[in-house]
Amino acid sequence: MAPTIGLLGGSFDPIHLAHLELARCAEGQLELDEVWLIPAGRPWQRGDLGADAGQREQMVRLAAQGEPRLRVLDLELRRSGPSYTVDTLRELQAAHPGHRFVLLLGADQLENFRTWKDWRHIAAGADLAAAPRPEHELRPDAELLAALQAAGHRLLQLRMPPLAVSATAVREHAAQGLDLRGLVPPAVADYIERHHLYRNHPAPHGHP
């Protein structure tokens, strides 16, 4: 049978426990063979990031260590210009014609989905699976649903308790010198500490 792969993209500035929980829930509930984590090179809807691309990638790799079903892809980091999901999906589909891809995302990005570049192409190319997130609606958008259905794709809703963890909160905690262990995996907390990341970062973007 064709392998089914969940794709979880993000700025991962830094990767945190809710990203991992999302990946784990998707893997179990959608019977995925693997989840591929895809750090964005230059997230197009973001201003300056707190950590550079190499550091964000390294933290994603540390978080994925010892998780046999998690793979880290650097294709967006190697691509020049802004990172668009539509390009990533096309590239992966061309490279792996036998695979079925499901795009994983949180409720905030589901609300945002129709602002993504070429969102109709994305909806025509893959199922979506969305996770709840505090203060965001998991309600399907009629236009998005219609586009998915026209292409024989679906919007799946992941069962997961809404987790009030965000990269913004991690950066804010780090800036205040607080313990990060309830927010990120221990290896990522150590990395942030060792590299003095986010120390002077006022977190101009992101979630409460």
Which stretches of 65-162 are DSSP H helices?
75-78, 85-95, 107-112, 119-125, 142-150
Count residues binding ligand ATP (CB under 6 A).
20
Four-residue CA torsion sign, 53, 5, 3, 159: positive
Q: Does 133 bind ligand ATP (CB under 6 A)?
A: yes
Task: For the CB of residue 106, give the shortest distance to ligand ATP in the complex, in Å.
Answer: 2
What per-residue string of b and e applies to 16-39 under the rule 16 or more CB within 10 Å gives b? bbbbbbbbbbbbeebebebbbbbb
Could you say which residues in the range 93-112 bind ligand ATP, by CB under 6 A? Answer: 105-106, 108-109
Angle at 113 between CA 109 and CA 118, to 5 degrees: 140
Q: Give yes or no for a contact between 64 and 24, defined as CB atoms under 8 angstroms apart.
A: no
Cα distance between residue 16 and residue 180, in whole Å: 10
Cα distance between residue 78 and residue 40, in whole Å: 10
| 147 or 158: CB nearest ligand ATP | 158
Q: Does 19 bind ligand ATP (CB under 6 A)?
A: yes
Q: Does 207 bind ligand ATP (CB under 6 A)?
A: yes
| 69 or 152: CB nearest ligand ATP | 69
| 45 or 93: CB nearest ligand ATP | 45
Could you say which residues in the range 43-82 bind ligand ATP, by CB under 6 A? Answer: none
Task: For the CB of residue 98, give the shortest distance to ligand ATP in the complex, in Å.
Answer: 26
Task: For the CB of residue 38, give the shortest distance to ligand ATP in the complex, in Å.
Answer: 10
| 39 or 125: CB nearest ligand ATP | 39
Q: Does 12 bind ligand ATP (CB under 6 A)?
A: yes
Could you say which residues in the range 147-206 bind ligand ATP, by CB under 6 A? Answer: 163, 165-168, 206
Q: Is 162 helix (H, G, I), strand (E, B) or coil?
A: coil
Q: Give yes or no for a contact between 159 and 21, defined as CB atoms under 8 angstroms apart.
A: no
Site residues (vs ligand ATP, CB under 6 A): 10-13, 18-19, 22, 105-106, 108-109, 131, 133, 163, 165-168, 206-207
